[in-house]
Structure 1
Amino acid sequence: MAGEILDNKGRGEAGWHWPAIHPEGRKFGLIAVAVSLVFLVLLDWGIIGWPLMLLSVGVFAFFRDPERVVPQGESAIVAPADGLVTQIEDTEPPLEMQIDDGSGYPGLPAGQVTRISIFMTVFDVHINRTPVGGTVRRVVYIPGKFMSAELDKASAENERQHILIERSDGLRLGFTQIAGLVARRIVPFVKPGDIVAKGQRVGLIRFGSRVDVYLPAGTDPKVMIGQTIIAGETVLAEIGERGLIEGISQ
């Protein structure tokens, strides 16, 4: 059951099962199945129908929505997306997250912070989750291009959506959903004023994309470029903790 409180004392049963399919994707999967059945049953064109049936399975798999065990430490910032860490660099947060938007709530402070970029292929889970719990202060959609999400300039030129979360202690953290070559729709699940728990689902991007996370000032990442991470489970950073980490490529 989604949201059920679990412990580590042996509750539950072991065994693989197909993850739930998010409602946003069920209609696309059913449409693909219906089209494949037309070719298989009505037209008897198996050469087209069977590949379409395989495509239907792929569509359902794309919108899979597995449960995640979210770290509950107060200082932990968790990954908002499944995928590969492709960039870690110091930069200014997007202007849309800094300027006064008339809401009465401040944006992110100006100054250099660390940005972690997570690239999602079409094979990754595309449900995005909030890195911290708190109140949604901004959801800013910006139309743009559809260049490869792996490019650095995709952060400023591609279609994207900024989400700003404010914790109960006043700390603010922003992250950005970025469309890519194949992705053509960013779907939000939240709006300003919503209260979200850490690791809660906040949106998805259809068919390949990227998510950028802007760490608070004075916080260094605990992940490395080339690392594969899991939304809602991998700890990207601990708030206020500094220090270089090193890994071994294997």
Structure 2
Amino acid sequence: MSILASIRKTIPPVHREGYPFIAIAAVLTLVIFLVSTFWGMLALGLTVWTALFFRDPQRVTPIREGLVVSPADGVISQITLAIPPRELDLSDTPLLRVSVFMNVFNVHVNRAPVTGRVARIAYKPGIFLNADLDKASEDNERNGFIFQTAFGPVGCVQIAGLIARRIVCFVREGEEMGAGERFGLIRFGSRVDIYLPPGTRLLVAEGQLATAGETMIADFAAQGGRDTAYRVS
């Protein structure tokens, strides 16, 4: 293996959305170095962090019909029953909701949790509370998706956080997507909620770490799963 190939394998690629931010940080770092070596080193650290924030590593998605994979890197911060956002027009009754919280050190490229058609995309402006708070699902800026699958519709909502001020969408309504494919990105700390149809078997627990496109969140194929007996604590 060549040195270049080894570097490419070790260092994950950066998503193109990050290029302007990295360039700005790099230029500012050079300018600051002309003034102060100490502050220049701090600025260099910030530039490196910016590049790491926008990293977009390859993922290996489990291939089996009926699996739901995590749409985001982070921690399973909450599992509860909740009514989906009204703009999605998904359900008037509570559905099983799994929330994945991303801190500023996680990969922020989001991936489709299921294979299916993007039946709806609904953006809603809002405020910027800490994304880990339960009311962030209602009050924060968000972008919601409905993925139509053979097992029913699945809701997926990108939620901006206290620091995140920009939600980026890569897809359009009507597109067909495979589980694990990139559909969006949230800049600088945020959360993604997944709303699952009745009868879905849950495969994760609160506090568990999740990897976008790889961690199995739920299973449609095993009907009569944990959600039918789930109770909000």
TM-score computed with the length of structure 1 as normaliser = 0.84
Can you list the C-alpha shifts for 1:206-247, whole angstroms capped at 9, x where unaligned? 000000000111113210000001000000000135038xxx
The answer for unaligned runs of 5 or more in structure 2 is 1-5, 228-233
Q: 1:223 aligns with which of 198, 204, 213?
A: 204
Residue type at the aligned position of 1:143: P
What is the alpha-carbon distance in structure 2 between the residues aligned to residue 208 and residue 114 of structure 1? 23
CA shift in 2, pair 1:53/1:110, >3 Å: same
Deviation at 1:94, TM superposition (A): 1.7
Map 1:38-49 → 2, pairs under 5 A: 38-40=31-33, 43-49=34-40
Match of 1:23 in 2: 16
Match of 2:27 in 1: 34
Pair 1:156 & 2:156 matched: no
Map 1:9-158 → 2, pairs under 5 A: 17-40=10-33, 43-98=34-89, 108-158=90-140
Q: 2:154 aligns with which of 173, 182, 188?
A: 173
Identity score, percent: 46
Deviation at 1:47, TM superposition (A): 2.1
CA shift in 2, pair 1:109/1:157, >3 Å: closer
Do the aligned residues in 1 keep the contact of 2:66 with 2:151 (CA within 8 Å)?
no
Match of 1:233 in 2: 214
Can you list the C-alpha shifts for 1:110-140, whole angstroms capped at 9, x where unaligned? 3221000110000100000011111111111
Deviation at 1:76, TM superposition (A): 0.4
SS at 1:31 equivalent: helix
Match of 1:248 in 2: none
What is the alpha-carbon distance in structure 1 between the residues aligned to residue 151 and residue 82 of structure 2? 22
Match of 2:231 in 1: none
Larger strand fraction of residues: 2
Residue type at the aligned position of 1:139: I
Do the aligned residues in 2 keep the contact of 1:141 with 1:161 (CA within 8 Å)?
yes
TM-score computed with the length of structure 2 as normaliser = 0.90
After superposition, the CA RMSD in angstroms is 1.6
Can you list the C-alpha shifts for 1:190-212, whole angstroms capped at 9, x where unaligned? 11111111110000000000000
Match of 1:105 in 2: none
Larger helix fraction of residues: 2
Deviation at 1:170, TM superposition (A): 6.3
SS at 2:201 equivalent: coil
Map 1:2-13 → 2, pairs under 5 A: none
Residue type at the aligned position of 2:132: E
Deviation at 1:66, TM superposition (A): 0.5
SS at 1:123 equivalent: coil
Do the aligned residues in 2 keep the contact of 1:136 with 1:195 (CA within 8 Å)?
yes
What is the alpha-carbon distance in structure 1 between the residues aligned to residue 23 and residue 171 of structure 2? 26
What is the alpha-carbon distance in structure 2 between the residues aligned to residue 113 and residue 197 of structure 1? 23
Deviation at 1:16, TM superposition (A): 5.2
The runs of at least 4 aligned residues of structure 1 exceeding 4 Å deviation read none
